[in-house]
Structure 1
């Protein structure tokens, strides 16, 4: 789990569109700045809730920011939200659900304290108190799904789910059912996303050639590599790298 803050003291004069591919993480987001929008599958735009829970995303999504953005979020490990909330994560897949619909008045209290806070550290303190209370009232336990998650993450998604189920002494069907309930997506899809995360990082942080990256990612051929890039980012690998570096330069500026 980690916290992240995204804000700007200066107004965004021209609406900024930010593309975000899936990352295998769940989260909570609290907006204390100007409202921002997300693009729907039908290409229309809608405002995101003031505070919300976000489940596993399986496709790239686009945010549009304007004015003075200000948000703080909690990025959870894949099963973290299920452990904290005690609810099946399949209900949150590809969705942003208002926090108050899940936590009721408790969400309103946290949201108000976030709005009243003046600094990032104050907001983090509010969230830590909130999470510690939730964890204290939860019944955490390490189970088979957590072991499966750890294996997939450790091996960067480059593994056989059938072999993994054999190692865990469970049928592939049972593993899929239990994993999907706790994480929100199947172990096979989660593995594909983690492999994409790994190779996309390689492609933007190294000067290696494409075939080296294809081989490092465990792909059978370049076609499968390109398919994963397009499925999860909506872009070809070269276009993804260009966009990533353009955004990095813009944010760095």
Structure 2
């Protein structure tokens, strides 16, 4: 697949505390119909705008039509989407704490599901979508999104700045850090950390660290440089059996089978592509 069909841009500087990137996808159906669009569990949530036909999502073994633009909650398992026509969409990828300020409910309420953006933003969705559709190029779409989100975040309360240091600490250990150790590193009580994480990110500490740890595992597997034993050790698992069990509990298959099936699939390109400045 031509990498030019996927363009990832950094948001306006004022938004980078909240939004990591905008990914613009435009893939003809002839190509899109050959792809498995598996969306993986991650330590950040995503908002998706459909600019073309809706996609199908596999839910409880059945495919359901996704008619509306939506915010995905944190995923505890992979989710399969299938294009019905050409794949034209914008994915807004947030920082771990970037979405919760926009919501009046905990993000954990939509784990493994999604919320309609009309419900979240109340108004402005039709204008935003028509603007994105009418835009002449990707850069204009990016400017439209910047203006929309700057206006939305202007209405929110300031985030608890302690969450940034906590996430940096957790990420520095690739999720392999106990609450007790983080408490000592951050000079904060364990209950305080749990409250900050849940309030700022929307999910509990244990789930968040697990997502970061498994992101690291997928990155190690993708390098094709390490044995499963080495991956388990680098990710901090005390033995390979424990590593395989936890991986299988999320992805439904062994690390080896998962890596073989996922290799060269589209979501790898979406996730691995580095955002660029406009």
Q: Please give the TM-score of this superposition, normalised by the length of structure 2.
A: 0.80
8 Å CA contact 2:72, 2:115 repeated in 1: yes
CA distance in 2, matches of 1:242, 1:109: 43
CA distance in 2, matches of 1:250, 1:93: 22
Partner of 2:218: 200
Residue 97 of structure 1: how far off its partner (Å): 0.7
Partner of 1:126: 144
CA separation of 1:107/1:25 partners in 2, compared to 1, >3 Å: closer, same or farther?
A: same
8 Å CA contact 2:106, 2:203 repeated in 1: no
CA distance in 1, matches of 2:221, 2:202: 27
What are the Cα deviations for residues 177-213 of structure 1, in whole angstroms up to 9, with x where unaligned?
A: 4422432321112111111111111111132222111
CA distance in 1, matches of 2:267, 2:175: 29
Matched, 1:217 2:235: yes
Residue 24 of structure 1: how far off its partner (Å): 1.0
Residue 248 of structure 1: how far off its partner (Å): 5.7
* Alignment match of 1:61 (pick from 71, 79, 101): 79
Residue 174 of structure 1: how far off its partner (Å): 4.5
CA separation of 1:210/1:250 partners in 2, compared to 1, >3 Å: closer, same or farther?
A: closer
What are the within-5 Å matches in structure 2 for residues 4-23 of structure 1? 4-12=23-31, 14=33, 16-23=35-42
Q: How many residues align?
A: 251
Partner of 2:120: 102
CA separation of 1:145/1:43 partners in 2, compared to 1, >3 Å: closer, same or farther?
A: same
CA distance in 2, matches of 1:73, 1:4: 5
8 Å CA contact 1:79, 1:182 repeated in 2: yes
Question: Aligned-residue CA RMSD in angstroms?
Answer: 2.5
8 Å CA contact 1:56, 1:184 repeated in 2: no
What are the within-5 Å matches in structure 2 for residues 91-240 of structure 1? 91-240=109-258
Unaligned residue ranges in structure 1 (runs of 5+): none
Q: Please give the TM-score of this superposition, normalised by the length of structure 1.
A: 0.88
